[in-house]
Amino acid sequence: MSLTPVLFLFLCHLGIGTVFTLILIPSVAGVRFFRFTSALAFIFLVLGLTFHPVALTFTRDARGVACVSLLVTMGALSFVVAPMNPWRRQLLWLSGAAGLVTLVAQAGAAQASVPLALTLASFLTSAALMGSSFTAMILGHWYLVLPTLDVTFLQSIVKFHLWSTVAKAVSVVAVAWAAANSWDTRLAPSFGAYLSSIDGVFFWQRVLFGLVGPAVLAYMTWETAKIRSTQAATGILYVDFFTVIIGELVAKYVLQATGLPF
Would you tell me the crossing angle of helices 230-258 and 213-226 to the nearest 10 degrees?
160
What are the phi and psi torsion angles at 14 (to 5°)?
Answer: -65, -45
Distance, in Å, from the CA atom of 243 to the CA atom of 247, rounded to the nearest integer, reads 6
Q: What is the pLDDT of residues 149-205, one digit of tens each?
A: 888 999 999 999 999 999 999 999 999 999 888 777 777 787 888 888 888 899 999
- Residue 1: pLDDT band (50, 70, 90) is low
Q: What is the pLDDT of residues 49-106, one digit of tens each?
A: 999 999 999 988 999 999 999 999 999 999 999 887 788 899 999 999 999 999 999 9
Closest CA to 160 of 186, 190, 128: 128
* Residue type at position 11: L
- Answer whether 220's CB lies under 8 Å from 236's CB: yes
The secondary structure of residue 29, as a DSSP letter, is G
| Centroid of chain to Cα 4 | 17
- Residue 148: pLDDT band (50, 70, 90) is confident
Per the structure, the complete domain to which residue 202 belongs is given by 4-258
Q: Give mean pLDDT, residues 25-52.
A: 93
CATH of the domain at 211: 1.20.1630
Which pLDDT value is given to residue 19?
Answer: 97
Distance, in Å, from the CA atom of 258 to the CA atom of 47, rounded to the nearest integer, reads 25
Which pLDDT value is given to residue 208?
Answer: 92
The secondary structure of residue 208, as a DSSP letter, is I
Q: Which helix (H) or strand (E) holds 171?
A: helix 151-181
Q: Give mean pLDDT, residues 97-117.
A: 94
Closest CA to 121 of 140, 104, 99: 104
Percent of the chain with pLDDT strictly greater than 90: 70
Which pLDDT value is given to residue 92?
Answer: 95
Distance, in Å, from the CA atom of 186 to the CA atom of 257, rounded to the nearest integer, reads 12
- Residue 12: pLDDT band (50, 70, 90) is very high
Give me the number of domains the chain comprises: 1
Region of 111 please: left (phi>0), alpha (psi -120 to 50) or beta: beta
Distance, in Å, from the CA atom of 175 to the CA atom of 137, rounded to the nearest integer, reads 29
Closest CA to 160 of 130, 200, 193, 203: 130
Which residue has better confidence, 191 or 243? Answer: 243
Closest CA to 120 of 101, 107, 105: 107
Q: What is the pLDDT of residues 202-239, one digit of tens each?
A: 999 999 999 999 999 999 998 998 888 888 999 999 99
Grouping H, G, I as helix, E, B as strand and the rest as coil, residue 47 is: helix
